[in-house]
Amino acid sequence: MPITYKNIEFEAVLGDITNQPDVEAVVNAANAELAIGGGVAGAIHRAAGPELYEECKPLAPINPGEAVITKAYNLPNKYVIHCLGPVYGSDKPEDELLANCYKNALRLAEENKISSIAFPSISTGAFRYPFQKATDVSFNTILGELERFKHLQKIRFVLFSEQDLRFYEEKLGKLE
Ligand code: AR6
């Protein structure tokens, strides 16, 4: 169930980041080379098709916390915003670098007049960031940026397990 907080619609859903046709931009949990890889990145590149990597190549490599924007090709969205999350335990300070991912993704969304965006849980798969700690960072960062929004109206969190979804729903429930 979506909730509205400070005029922004938030929702958490169980699903695949490549199957969010009603949002303008999806966020990729990328690798530094912006290449295919596994997890979210693999799914996004497979669904978008090889042209996505062609556009990505000259933009790479990126550093932890950075984000770049491309077209979405065969995905049902207009844009992909690629973020490189920190590898937990090696890219430090992890919380700051993860917060930078969310800030930079939102900044690019605003610059491109994007009104709706879907985020996966960056860094919590192959990069091993503890899920609950990462969720605190994502919420605190996004809430801290709300005042700056001129175009963004909708933020969706796409989670890959029931347990992850329940945790996001609990956090959203506390916003109201
Ligand atoms: N849709 C939504 N969420 C997903 C999907 C999907 N299709 N697939 C996985 N998740 P990860 P990271 C969840 O590993 O930790 C790649 O190999 C997953 O359960 O995709 O930032 C890249 O090439 C987890 O909660 O991203 C990089 O090398 C979350 O998305 C590296 O992994 C993030 O998992 C990036 O690692």
Strand partners, 82: 28, 68
Q: What domain range includes position 54?
A: 3-173
Per-residue pLDDT of the chain (176 residues; tens, 9 = 90+): 899 999 999 999 999 999 999 999 999 999 999 999 999 999 999 999 999 999 999 999 999 999 999 999 999 999 999 999 999 999 999 999 999 999 999 999 999 999 999 999 999 999 999 999 999 999 999 999 999 999 999 999 999 999 999 999 999 999 97
Is 0.95 surpassed by the pTM of this model?
yes
Is 86 close to ligand 1, i.e. is its CB under 6 Å away?
Answer: no
Using a 6 Å cutoff on CB, does residue 65 contact ligand 1?
A: no
CATH number at residue 144: 3.40.220.10
DSSP letters for 41-91:
HHHHHHHH-HHHHHHHGGG----TT-EEEEE-TTSSSSEEEEE-PPPTTTS
Ligand 1 neighbour 126 (Cβ under 6 A): yes
Say if ligand 1 is within 6 A of residue 127 CB: yes
- CA of 35, closest atom in ligand 1: 23
Residue listed under structure tokens 């109206």: 153
Task: Give how many domains the chain has, as a whole number.
Answer: 1
- Among 119, 87, 126, 89, smallest CA distance to 104 is for 119
